[in-house]
Amino acid sequence: MTHCLQFDKLRFWKSKPIANIPNWKWEGYAEYVCRQNTDQENLSKNIERFIAIDEKYWEIKFADSTIAPREYYDYWTLVQYCMDIKKMTYKQILADRTSEQIVRQEMMSWYNSGVVIDELPVRPLDKVMAGAGLLSQIVIDEYVDHLPLYRQMQRFERGGLKLPYATHRGYYWVYQGQH
């Protein structure tokens, strides 16, 4: 299905096999588009999965019971690197003349550098770094236990968390504005 969309978008003369598009770009993009499950989005984890699989197996198995040929999985990680890390569009990937080997070397250099771009934790409120536990504690202390903010701050300080009054009060007001 994805190949049909590629063919429709690029038209006959700019598609594979007429345009001589390398397999890693053509097949890798199809895999990239099709594999958007939450356990398949993180490039670092995808590279780790690829490295961990014994080379004698032809396929890579996923938690959702689907499989991908090892070769296509490799192509997918290359396209994922170009799109997610290098922020290239598919048209830019097609126009780029960098070889598959060079892209793989760049990707592995990125992977081995220790720079990991992972999902940020879900925050209950926009523009607030505090997690759900801290915000819940502040609201419960205020409304259920009727504990004033300065006493909450004293308790947090005894526990080793020193929050400025404005920050603490800001969490309270941000919560009020959201609910």
**Residue 87 neighbours by CB under 8 Å, 6+ apart:** none
Cα 154 from Cα 165, distance rounded (Å)? 11
- Res 98 pLDDT > 80: yes
DSSP label at residue 113: T
| Mean pLDDT (whole number) for 93-103 | 86
pLDDT digits (tens, 9 = 90+) for 47-84: 888 888 878 888 877 777 777 788 888 888 888 898 88
* Per-domain boundaries in the chain: 2-112, 132-178
Cα 162 from Cα 119, distance rounded (Å)? 27
Whether the model pTM is above 0.75: no
E strand or H helix at 172, and its extent?
helix 165-178
| Mean pLDDT (whole number) for 105-111 | 90
